[in-house]
A and B are shown apart, each in its own frame.
Chain A
Amino acid sequence: MSDAEQPTDASDVTDVREEETVSDDEFEPVQVFPESEEMDLRPGSDDCYKCSTCDTNCPVAEVDDDFPGPKFQGPEQWRLKRKEDHDVDDSVMSCSNCMRCDSACPSDVPLSQMHNTARGEYVEDQMEKFSREYVRNRILANYRTMAELGSKVPRLTNFLMGNSLVQAANEKLLGITAEREFPEFAEETFREWWDERGGPQVRSEDKRVAYFHGCYSNYNTPEVGKAMVRLFEHFGYEVVVPVQRCSGTPMFANGMLDDAKRAAGVNVENFSGLVEEGYDVIASCTSCSMSLRQEYPELFSYDGTASVAAHTYEALEYLRLHEDLEGALESAEVDAGEFAYHAPCHARNQGLAGQAVELLDGLSGANAEDVGESCSGISGTYGWKEEKYETSMKIGEEMFEHMEETDAETGMTECPTCAMQMEHGTGYEIRHPLEVLEEALVGEGSN
């Protein structure tokens, strides 16, 4: 076990199996104002000294001259909308929720939290609920609902969604771009595979993780989930896969906070019990882990939210912390070749940007070259919207170019929608680092 779980000092507040968000004896300026029941982002807003560094880091503002940038969307908007005669500006819907502004800010202003709340308010109060945009966004944000239906008859759905007439209709009727290839549904979902194999193959009292597979690795790329399970079982972990809903990422990005809140409620309930029993939460999608780690505690206050956040890890990060992963990789070998690696924004924000490249450095037969800091541009549902498609591709251009400049012909990333964009822009096949590691350490032929 690593020291992350065994604090040397029992009173160490950094170890959280129990709830601990804000220490209550600390004075907050807002306490002097009455009715501070509602979320009040004023202290964060007051921390902004208008240096504009966030604006220079925003991938949307970089290519879309009409977008006023994160400084406006966050602290400025917050101030404006505190006055009753100001509505939330509709430009907030052009923010893609990449959350890069958070790491750019030298003053710890909670920008993405402000964007999420402003967007939620905008959708709630100002968006016409029968509009094409609302309906479309609701459908995109609730991908899981669609996916669940579609994956019941994967071949039929794949055939239909691959049909250009259907795509044209989607664009005309719903505003979902026809430029993109709809992701294929797997013939067997991850959960079906999981049930089929009879659940966990390893039982352990002290090495136990609960897998948050998210929608995409369940319905579309179960091979990622399978690789994760095999890898963790190889290291002696008991893996459980509790019932779960969408992490909420696409809902935050579309201002569907009520939907996100419901999904978060289910997830927190199902995972916090396991955390109490000593399980840590593992995700293979960096937006899912970001959501559980940062957005849940920022936006919701279910019992257990903070402990789930504190115990959620990205899968590779977890193995690095608790196992001698580098040592294991040094003595392993694989025939995988060169990869052009793109770090998703939500991996970057969690401090995981260099991890896959570092790990493959030590593995013979595989190498990953980082294609740089640029955002892929798809940002989940963003690049699926007809009116955002072009912006999305403009943002991605730098990444496509860098991918093509490398020796690699295969891409690599942890984020399923970044993968879609990488494939769409370059035609490369894209793999998840977990798949390569599983191939190296576990090998073919396991179930």
Chain B
Amino acid sequence: MAIEDDVTVIGGGIAGMTAALAAAREGAAVRVLSHKDSTLRSASGLVDVLGYPPRSSDDERGEGSASEESETTPDGPLADPFDAIPALPESHPYRTVGVEGVREALTLFDEVVGDRYRGGHTDRNALVPTHGGAVKPTARYPASAAEGLASDDRNALLVGFETVTDFDAPLAAAHLESAGVPFVARGATVSFPGDFRVDAKITRLADALDADERVSIEGDGYTTELPARKALAETVKPHLRGEARVGFPAILGQHETEAVRADLESELGAAVFEVPMGPPSLPGMRLEGAFLAACRDAGVRFTTGNPVVGYEEDDSGAVAAVRVERNGATIPFHADQFVLATGGLVGKGIDSDREGVEEPIFDCHVPHSGDRYDWFADDAFGDHPFARFGVETDDELRPLDAGGEPEFENVRAAGAVLGGYDFAAEKSGSGVSLATGRTAGRSAASEVTTYE
């Protein structure tokens, strides 16, 4: 007999790992199947619940003019995301799990990450500067980013490195100022101390700070060796003009971030914070590490490296197994319950071509117009229908077919594979993944008859 578990979760991102963790804590034997390394490595590490209210979709609003739009859409970020949830459209995944579901999921999150994250003390969104100099409303943020909040009025120096090209500190500072932050932001670009190759990986620089490696720096006609943290502080000092806090791209150590930060703070005499970065993202990797450890502690098993490509049905029409593809052969993984957490259009959990939009594993129904010119808006930052493509579900998060009936009794969906919300526009990605992941995991576990 093949490999068999109570609950099989397809997808190793934050939705998948949350579902697995929630199910395992209910006593189920859980396996996560993940094609590649977790996409959390590409995530900023910020956990948003709801930053902006969704732009109401066309069918609710009709052909509204620009002025009407500004009346119905509050500008600026939401102060309290929980407040806004009951007013979301019916199709939004938050409406399925409810405000309580979202709160419970954040409690689970807080427990997993411990003191590595901040924001749990309040319902209100925090405003975190991003590497592009935008200000992002978010519910939870890494402790290393705490001193950087945009609501704080202390002046800030942003420090970029010549070789870390994803963060242009002067540009980010200018953007912050034009976003109207209540402080003076200034940017400086320095070269990372030591003799690293010009295309050194950010993990290499982070490792040097973790280990506090001795690096050589050029002085006035002499060369001296200093521990990396001190050398970095020395490099920054000449640029500091009394700012109370200094922001670096998020490369301050892979493991010893708090120690690196503390050392820099005492050397610089200013608060130090990290600005979340794009991929590969250290805050994302640290978050992945925390979730992996929690899953392992709960007994979750991981099988990674090959994609799930299809499924097998049993006599009753339920899913008996999913099939993992590996060089032309397919390996079945059996379970009682399945959670689909494969991501959206970007994560390839939803696929499209010129003919249509599909969910490739179970071929679940994905509502979309037959005319592909209806899939997008003309304005690049417009209200694109494609951003909300995904499966529709019942109250238990089971994907629905075109007739509104559950596709399978024992398949639930979580995270970006769900339709009805636009995580990019409304800044709700991680929150939806956490909340639907937890609900799907618990709901799947409650169906499992074998656990006691």
Which residues of A sit under 8 angstroms from B380, Cβ to Cβ?
Answer: none
Q: Which of A52-60, A182-190, A229-237, A375-383 lines the interface with chain B? A: A52-60
Q: Which residue of A lies closest to B279 (CB)?
A: A51
Complex Cα gap A246–B82 (Å)? 62
The answer to whether B326 and A293 have CB atoms under 8 Å apart is: yes
Chain A residues with Cβ under 8 A from B204's Cβ? 61-62, 65
Q: Which residue of B lies closest to A51 (CB)?
A: B279
Given contacts A320-B2, A321-B3, contact A3 B332 (CB under 8 A): yes
B304 contacts the other chain (CB 8 A) = yes
**Complex CA–CA separation, A216 to B142 (angstroms):** 48
Assembly CA distance A294 to B306 (angstroms): 12
Given A51-B279, A106-B42, A324-B1: A354 in contact with B331 (beta carbons within 8 A): no
Name the CB-closest residue of A to B202: A56
Known: A51-B42, A104-B36, A324-B1. 8 other contacts (CB 8 A): A2-B332, A4-B331, A55-B201, A56-B41, A56-B201, A62-B204, A349-B305, A351-B326
A330 close to chain B: CB less than 8 A: no
Asked whether any CB of chain A lies closer than 8 Å to the CB of B155, the reply is no
- B residues contacting A by CB (< 8 A) are 1-3, 36-37, 39, 41-42, 196-197, 199-204, 207, 278-280, 285, 301-306, 309-310, 312, 321, 323-332
A198 to B174, CA, bound (A): 80
| Known contacts A3-B321, A57-B37, A354-B303; A293 and B199 CB within 8 A of each other | no
For the complex formed, measure the closest distance between the CB of A137 and the CB atoms of chain B, giving whole angstroms: 26
Between A and B, 14 residue pairs with Cβ closer than 8 Å are: A14-B325, A15-B330, A16-B328, A51-B42, A51-B279, A51-B280, A56-B203, A65-B200, A68-B199, A103-B37, A297-B327, A321-B2, A327-B1, A354-B303
Closest to B292 in A: A373
Assembled-state Cα–Cα distance A306/B285 (Å): 36
Chain B at the A interface: SS class: mixed
Tell me which of A4, A56, A348 contacts B332 (CB under 8 A).
A4
Tell me, yes or no, whether A311 is within 8 Å of chain B by CB: yes
Residues of chain A lying within 8 A (CB to CB) of residue B310: 14
**A309: interface (CB < 8 Å):** yes
Q: Assess the A351–B328 pair: CB atoms within 8 A.
A: no
In the complex, whether A358 has a CB less than 8 A from a CB of chain B is yes
Task: Give the contacting residue for A3; candidates B2, B279, B302; CB below 8 A.
Answer: B2
Is A66 an interface residue, CB under 8 A from the partner? yes
- Chain B residues near A349 (CB, 8 Å)? 305
Contacts of B279 in A (CB 8 A): 51-53
| Minimal beta-carbon separation of A55 from chain B (angstroms) | 5
The reply to whether A69 and B201 contact each other, CB–CB distance below 8 Å, is: yes
For the complex formed, measure the closest distance between the CB of B447 and the CB atoms of chain A, giving whole angstroms: 22
**Chain A residues with CB under 8 A of B332:** 2-4, 321
How far, in whole Å, are A434 and B75 apart by their CA atoms in the complex?
Answer: 63
In the complex, chain B residues whose CB is within 8 Å of the CB of A323: 1
Instruction: Give every chain B residue within 8 A of A103 (Cβ-Cβ).
Output: 36-37, 304-305
With a CB–CB cut-off of 8 A, which chain A residues contact B321?
3
Neighbour of B323 across the interface among A14, A69, A309, A353, CB < 8 A: A14
Flag if B201 contacts A353 (CB, 8 Å): no
User: Quick one: which of A52, A69, A324, A353 has the most chain B CB within 10 A?
Assistant: A52
- CB atoms of A306 and B329 under 8 A apart: no
A297 and B42 alpha carbons, distance in the complex (Å) = 30
Contact yes or no, B41 A53, CB < 8 A: yes
Whether the pair A53, B305 counts as a contact (CB closer than 8 A) is: no
CA distance in complex: A117, B416 (Å): 37
**Cβ contact within 8 Å between A350 and B326:** yes
Per the bound structure, the CA–CA distance linking A348 and B36 in Å amounts to 11
Task: Decide: A320 near B3, CB < 8 A? Known: A65-B200, A354-B303.
Answer: yes
Query: How many chain A residues touch B (Cβ–Cβ < 8 Å)?
Result: 50
> Distance (Å) between the CB of B335 and the closest chain A CB?
14
Bound state CA distance, A350 and B3, in angstroms? 16
> Given the known A-B contacts A106-B42, A354-B301, A354-B303, are A4 and B36 also in contact in the complex, defined by CB atoms under 8 Å?
no
Contacts of A55 in B (CB 8 A): 201, 203, 280
Q: Which 7 residue pairs are nearest across A and B when measured between Cβ atoms?
A: A310-B328, A351-B305, A51-B279, A56-B203, A351-B306, A14-B330, A310-B329
Residues of A within 8 A of B39 (CB): 106
A51 to chain B: which residues have CB within 8 Å? 42, 278-280
Indicate whether A8 reaches chain B with its CB closer than 8 angstroms: yes
Q: Is the CB of A16 within 8 A of B305?
A: no
Contact residues in A for B324 (Cβ distance below 8 Å):
351
> Using a CB-CB cutoff of 8 Å, which residues 197-222 of chain A contact chain B?
none
Chain B nearest CB: distance from A109 CB in Å?
Answer: 11
* Residue among A16, A106, A321 with most chain B CB within 10 A: A106
* Interface status of A333 (Cβ within 8 A of chain B): no
A312 to B2, CA, bound (A): 17
**Residues A52 and B201 in contact, CB atoms below 8 Å apart:** yes
Across-interface contacts of B309 in A (CB, < 8 A): 14
Contact with B along A61-77 (1 / 0, CB 8 A): 11001101100100000
- Quick one: which of A271-318 are within 8 Å of B by CB? 293-294, 297, 306-307, 309-313, 317
Residues of B within 8 A of A62 (CB): 203-204, 207
**Alpha-carbon gap, A320 to B303, bound state (A):** 14
Q: Tell whether A105 is near chain B: CB-to-CB under 8 Å.
A: yes
Q: What CA separation (Å) do A351 and B305 show in the bound complex?
A: 5
Q: CA separation between A320 and B4, bound complex, in Å?
A: 10
Bound CA span A307–B280, Å: 37
Does B329 contact A311, Cβ atoms closer than 8 Å?
yes
Q: In the complex, which residue of chain B has the Cβ closest to the Cβ of A310?
A: B328
Q: Which residues of A contact B201 (CB under 8 A)?
A: 52, 55-56, 61, 69
Given A56-B201, A353-B304: A106 and B36 interface contact (C-beta under 8 Å):
yes
Tell whether, in the assembled complex, residue B280 and residue A53 are in contact, meaning their CB atoms are under 8 Å apart. Answer: yes
Distance (Å) between the CB of A317 and the closest chain B CB?
A: 8
A14: chain B residues within 8 A (beta carbon): 309-310, 323, 325, 328-330
CB proximity of A33 to chain B, nearest CB, Å: 23
Map CB proximity to B onto A92-122 as digits: 1 under 8 Å, 0 otherwise: 0000000000011110000000000000000
Of the candidates B3, B285, B309, B325, the one having the most CB atoms from chain A within 10 angstroms of its own CB is B3
Minimal beta-carbon separation of A125 from chain B (angstroms): 25
In the bound assembly, the distance between CA atoms of A206 and B396 in angstroms comes to: 44
Question: Which residues from A are CB-within-8-Å of B329?
Answer: 4, 14, 16, 310-311, 313
Q: In this complex, what residue of B is CB-closest to A357? A: B301
In the bound complex, how far is the Cα of B42 from the Cα of A51, in angstroms? 8
Q: Chain A contacts of B3 at CB under 8 A?
A: 320-321
Bound: A53/B43 CA distance, A: 12
- Within the assembled complex, what's the spacing in Å between the Cα atoms of A98 and B2? 29
Task: Please name the residue on chain A nearest to B207 by beta carbon.
Answer: A62
Residue of B nearest to A294 (CB): B327
Interface-centre pick from B306, B327, B330 (highest chain A CB count, 10 A): B327
User: In the complex the two chains form, what is the Cα distance from A2 to B323 in whole Å?
Assistant: 12
Q: What residues of B have a CB within 8 angstroms of the CB of A72 in the complex?
A: 199
Which chain B residues border A321 with CB–CB below 8 Å?
2-3, 331-332
Distance (whole angstroms) from the CB of A382 to the closest CB of chain B: 20
In the complex where A4-B2, A4-B329, A354-B302 touch, is A53 in contact with B42 (Cβ < 8 A)? yes
* B residues near A313, Cβ cutoff 8 Å: 329
In the complex, which residues of chain A have a beta carbon less than 8 angstroms from the beta carbon of B2?
Answer: 2-4, 320-322
Pick from B199, B312, B326 the residue with the most CB of A within 10 Å: B326
Contacts of A348 in B (CB 8 A): 304-305
In the assembled complex, A259 has its CB within 8 A of some CB on chain B: no
Please give, as numbers and ranges, the residues of chain A lying within 8 Å of B42 by CB-CB distance: 51, 53, 106
A323 to B2, alpha carbons, bound, how many Å?
7
Q: In the bound complex, how far is the Cα of B332 from the Cα of A8, in angstroms?
A: 12
Taking a contact as CB atoms under 8 Å apart, the answer to whether B197 and A20 are in contact is no
The minimal Cβ–Cβ distance linking B340 to chain A, given in whole angstroms, is 19
